[in-house]
Structure 1
Amino acid sequence: MSDAIQDVYPLAPGQGGILFQSLGEGAEGSGAYVVQVVLHLRGEPDRVRERAAWDALVARHDALRTALVWRGRARPLQVVGRRARAPFALHDLTDLPQAERAPRVAAFLAEDRARGFDLSRAPLLRLARFRLGGGEGRLVASFHHAVLDGWSAPVLLREWLALYAGRPLPPARPFREHVAWALSQDRAAALAFWRAELADRAPAAVWTPPPPAAPPAARRGDLSLDLDAAQTQALRAAARRAGVTLAVAAQGAWALTLSRLSGSRDVVWGLARSGRSAALAGVESRAGMFLTTLPMRAQADPDRPLADWLGEIQARLSAQGPHEHLPLGEVQAAVGRPDGGPLLTSAVVFENYPTDPALLGEVEGFAIEAAEVREQTSLPLTLFAAPHASADGQRLRLRLLFDAALVDEAVARLALSDAARVLATLAEAPRTRLGEIALEAAPLAAPRAPAPPLSKPLGEAPQAAVARLLPRLAALWAELLEGETPEAEDNFFALGGHSLLTLRLQERIRADLGIEVAVPDLFRFATLAAQSRHLAALRVAAETPDRPDGRAQARLQGAARLRRRRAQTAPNGARHA
């Protein structure tokens, strides 16, 4: 092992899915999985102590010195360096007119998000502080979700303040202990569980929201509303009487909203789970990417009382507990979707970690007056629910992040309003039947978003062409899967394939076979025979440019070549070092 490298080990369950989504089509410049923690400061930190505290924090935690390695590998790895230093920039805006300072910070946040991170370079953390005058300032800590989850943010901020103040801290525990625990769990039992959990679902169970009528001004959509303190108190009491948590109430609110929007009783959404096993000592004070997102499913029977239905969702969640260690990519590969689309288009995140700045601790010279977290997932819609303190007591805040390029803002507003209405109904009349809850949403099942390019065979390829292609593809599979030559009906994912390996398969098909294929098709046509037929059909289409499907294939190839040229010629300043 190199002197510069401290450790190398596999990815945790939640990391693989984020890496796959971060490398996927349309991810560049989207800001997906870039998390920005913005601290509102009163007073100014000492620059020398401030820099020293960040350096000490990075030195303490493996996750802050971690990069991801995936190119040319069957399974990606994370590499922990012995040393790393987070970039730090100080911006003095006091010479600007007062009215221009806040917009300058907002512009920085947008540029910083679009800049993203080079996941192969550590640390995946950078820092910036703004002087705004009058003793006011902003501190921005940006990190990539591939190495840190939301719970880690207050852990790290508390430790940074302690290090700044010179207070001693116990040694930090290595993240690899969590990875070792996850890899020691029963994978076969978890796969069997998820196949049964998601068996026989209809394509309509995964709702595809209608796209905007016109291109949005900005891609990141962010809406929020608060239940007032009295409503929040009543909601807590009603949930307690029903025997469910506030987090389950938020899930149920989103599930019923999806059911109304889609017109389907059977709904599937993603649920973010903390992934912090009690088997790990001091798990609540660890920093790293423990979080994982896995499917939840519910049947919204209109005759079922709301409180009873939420109890069923909680029971289902409890049954999933022993199987939460499986990465989403493996679940996706194991169960797929009948229409070949993505398994999840929305998710619910309940943030129950401490966010009150007063809980971070105090230091001499400056204070943290407020903290805000800005993030964006790769899903079209993500509902965040989090209790927060206000002048009149605890409030529950609902926040809906959405991709404005994929989701109409009016639909997003409707969805957020209806989710809040379900929670208000639980607080006021928990025995109300689901069909009697008055929501504004009418079924919006149409129009469904178009399928990915070339998501079905373009026609029957000559059998001779398929026969010539199959052994070459089989050799690629054997090499990537590091196994024996597969049979025609073998499934790529049953043989050990996973989401990130499909990216390598796509690259090898392009390089070795000269065929451009979309990643969703590699999931849909998962057997060797089906994939060979599809690739042969793509080749026939590409060789017949006068046919409409041939022209589509030519356009796809041209777009792919343009993306590769842009990536190869991007200026160094466009990448994070």
Structure 2
Amino acid sequence: LNAMTMDGTDGPELVANWTWAGALFTAEQIQELAQTWFQALEALVAYAAQPHVGGLTPSDVPLVKLNQEQIEQLEAEQPEIEEIWPLSPLQKGLLFHALYDPQSADAYVTQLVLDLEGAVDGQALRHACQTLLQRHANLRASFVYQGLDEPVQVIARDVQLPWQELDLSGLSDAAQEAECARFLQEDGSRRFELRQSPSLRFSLIRLTACRHRLVLTCHHILMDGWSGLLFVQEMFELYANSGSGRTLPRVAPYRDYLIWLKGRDYAAAKHAWQSALAGLDEATRLAPAQLKSLVRQQTLNWDLPESLTYALTQQARQHRLTLNTLIQGAWGLLLSHLTARDDVVFGVTVSGRPPELPGVEHMIGLLINTLPLRLQASPKQPIADLLTAIQDQQTQLVEYQYLALSDIQRLTGLGELFDTLIVFENYPVNWQALQTTTGGLQLTKLSGSDTTHYSLSLVVAPGARLSFHLGYRCDLFNNKTVEQLMRRFNRLLEAIAQDPGQPIGGIELLEAAERQQLLVEWNATERAMPEATLVQLFEA
């Protein structure tokens, strides 16, 4: 008997191969033996599934360091435990922020809003989403930290999907939009209790018989933006096939990513990051001080003209740079201008999907990581040279992108290194296929809402016109200031597009009105001289 576990479409499958001496046994006898063996296994599973029978031991949870007493305590709180895993680096950070100020709104509650055309079978759609929870174990995670040296995510065997349906079909179009906006605001402000699974919920809003809006509200600790789109794709496939996953790729378990993380060379990673940040003597922060309470960001949205987007793309190709590098360079130069420093740091988000991990492109979970990007500029340096240095820096560190930001910051001894972040959303998603009618449904619009705890966060979406979404804390920045930042950032992009060979010091960031105010109005100190002697002035 040779038995092994194989990854199947719906998860792990036990496969057994039998060999025998043909002179001693017949095929029918071995078939009967195999059936009896599987029946015995099923009986053992059924017995172990009974309340207060069996349970996990430390050898069952090799990815975490838990003793038997700790495991039994977890099982007492949540009886049906399938697995226990560690957290990824960013999951640890998001858990910290969720616990930091439990009375404030959670900045990492995200929403995906799907506008659907066609007659929706609510029960079938709900079943498809429930199937996704069974298909991807990490979506059934709860996050436990009390009484443990390190937080863990506990995977429940079965979790019921939180689902609600709202009927707004009796309202006018304007009233529907107003009510939807109110609902999204209220729903997005509701915190998740991360100790209870699942940290997601669904709302199906009926607008007309053939128009619905599906809202997926999820804590960012469960999945990133790439994964959210994979989730939507799989949901439509399951809906169209009555809950069957036969047309879907095999599940790439999030557990495999955590195993991959466990095998990394953390000593080498720390050395690489320490070298990259050597000589950095202060953090780069725009906000005057870090406030304890978290405030959900407001957003300023704008698109670049198609001509400017094209010019930037051409410059990137000509200089063998990515478009992302050009955006990062402009943001770093803006920070350098605002802080009057030539050595600045800001956060960047990386996909965190190692190409050597099988099936990673189909994996649903939180794989992204936030890392510091350092920009060292001098006035005489050509813009193109600075951009090349930025890209080279990231290339040298690409194999160490798994290190936690908290570990990197400890290496510098400077605390939090930055309070601004750039996210370049370059997901390998077939939008045309996603919008194709599936199971009688067509996705006509996909929108999202997510924020961060940072003072400023810039989300960039590529396309014929680059789209920018600048999230900002309204308790730190007013609308006028943020709009001014947007205009200066755009002027930096224009300078890069026009002539990346020009020196950094030659870039003009001030508008004509700002220059007039700075150089003329605020410098208007001249006064008319009185036509009198000093003695006459005293006598007067």
Q: Which TM-score bucket, shorter chain as reference?
A: 0.7 to 0.9
Q: Does 2:332 align with 1:255? A: yes
Q: Does 2:295 align with 1:228? A: no
| TM-align CA RMSD | 2.3
Q: Deviations over 1:97-151 (max 9, x none)?
A: 3322112111111111211211111111111121223733211101111110111
Partner of 1:172: 251
Aligned-residue offset at 1:208? 2.3
**Structure 2: which amino acid aligns with 1:5?**
I
Q: Does 2:359 align with 1:285? A: no
> Which of 175, 179, 182 lines up with 2:261 in the alignment?
182
The range that moved more, 229-238 or 416-425, is 416-425
**Structure 2: which amino acid aligns with 1:104?**
E
**Structure 1: which amino acid aligns with 2:471?**
L
Q: Does 2:378 align with 1:301? A: yes
Q: Distance in 1 between matches of 2:99 and 2:270?
A: 25
Q: Distance in 2 between matches of 1:362 and 1:302?
A: 54
**Structure 2: which amino acid aligns with 1:23?**
L
Q: Structure 1 residues 71 and 348, CA, compared in 2 at 3 Å: closer, same or farther?
A: same
**Structure 1: which amino acid aligns with 2:454?**
L
Partner of 1:313: 390
Q: Distance in 1 between matches of 2:225 and 2:103?
A: 22
Q: Does 2:275 align with 1:196? A: yes
> Which of 118, 128, 138 lines up with 2:213 in the alignment?
138
Aligned-residue offset at 1:270? 0.6
Alignment of 1:1-400 (within 5 A): 1=56, 2=75, 4-25=80-101, 28-133=103-208, 135-166=210-241, 168=246, 169-203=248-282, 205-209=283-287, 219-337=296-414, 342-354=416-428, 357-360=431-434, 361-388=436-463, 394-400=464-470
Q: Distance in 2 between matches of 1:403 and 1:163?
A: 39
* 3-state secondary structure, aligned to 2:300: strand
Q: Is the 8 A contact 2:296 2:452 kept in 1?
A: no
* 3-state secondary structure, aligned to 1:79: strand
Alignment of 1:528-567 (within 5 A): none
Q: Distance in 1 between matches of 2:358 and 2:259?
A: 14
Aligned-residue offset at 1:269? 0.4
Q: Distance in 1 between matches of 2:405 and 2:297?
A: 24
Q: Is the 8 A contact 1:276 1:291 kept in 2?
A: yes
Q: TM-score, normalised by structure 1?
A: 0.71
Q: Distance in 1 between matches of 2:134 and 2:128?
A: 10
Q: Does 2:495 align with 1:425? A: yes
Q: Distance in 1 between matches of 2:441 and 2:104?
A: 34
The range that moved more, 301-310 or 189-198, is 189-198
Q: Deviations over 1:302-340 (max 9, x none)?
A: 211112211100000111112211111112222231xxx
Q: Deviations over 1:1-27 (max 9, x none)?
A: 2561111111112211111122113x6
Aligned-residue offset at 1:76? 0.7
> Which of 362, 386, 407 lines up with 2:477 in the alignment?
407
Q: Is the 8 A contact 2:249 2:362 kept in 1?
A: no
Q: Distance in 2 between matches of 1:359 and 1:170?
A: 16
Higher alpha-carbon Rg: 2
Q: Distance in 2 between matches of 1:15 and 1:51?
A: 27
Aligned-residue offset at 1:356? 6.4
Q: Distance in 2 between matches of 1:279 and 1:357?
A: 26
Q: Structure 1 residues 107 and 440, CA, compared in 2 at 3 Å: closer, same or farther?
A: farther
The range that moved more, 154-163 or 395-404, is 395-404
Aligned-residue offset at 1:426? 2.0
**Structure 2: which amino acid aligns with 1:9?**
W
Q: Distance in 2 between matches of 1:421 and 1:191?
A: 37
How many residues are treated as equivalent by the alignment?
A: 430
Q: Does 2:510 align with 1:440? A: yes
Unaligned runs of 5+ residues in structure 1 are: 389-393, 444-577
Q: Is the 8 A contact 1:239 1:426 kept in 2?
A: no
* 3-state secondary structure, aligned to 1:372: strand
* 3-state secondary structure, aligned to 1:364: coil
Q: Distance in 2 between matches of 1:233 and 1:153?
A: 29
Q: Distance in 1 between matches of 2:343 and 2:419?
A: 14
Q: Deviations over 1:148-184 (max 9, x none)?
A: 0111011111100000011622331211111111121
Q: Distance in 1 between matches of 2:168 and 2:160?
A: 25
**Structure 2: which amino acid aligns with 1:60?**
R
Q: Structure 1 residues 114 and 440, CA, compared in 2 at 3 Å: closer, same or farther?
A: farther
Aligned-residue offset at 1:359? 3.0
Q: TM-score, normalised by structure 2?
A: 0.76
**Structure 2: which amino acid aligns with 1:350?**
F
Percent of aligned pairs with the same amino acid: 35
Aligned-residue offset at 1:418? 2.2
Q: Deviations over 1:348-406 (max 9, x none)?
A: 11000146643325313221111111101111111111114xxxxx2111111112123
Q: Is the 8 A contact 2:98 2:106 kept in 1?
A: no
* 3-state secondary structure, aligned to 2:299: strand
Q: Distance in 1 between matches of 2:380 and 2:448?
A: 39
**Structure 2: which amino acid aligns with 1:317?**
Q
**Structure 2: which amino acid aligns with 1:11?**
L
> Which 4+ stretches in 1 moved above 4 angstroms?
354-357
Q: Distance in 1 between matches of 2:267 and 2:338?
A: 35
Aligned-residue offset at 1:427? 2.0
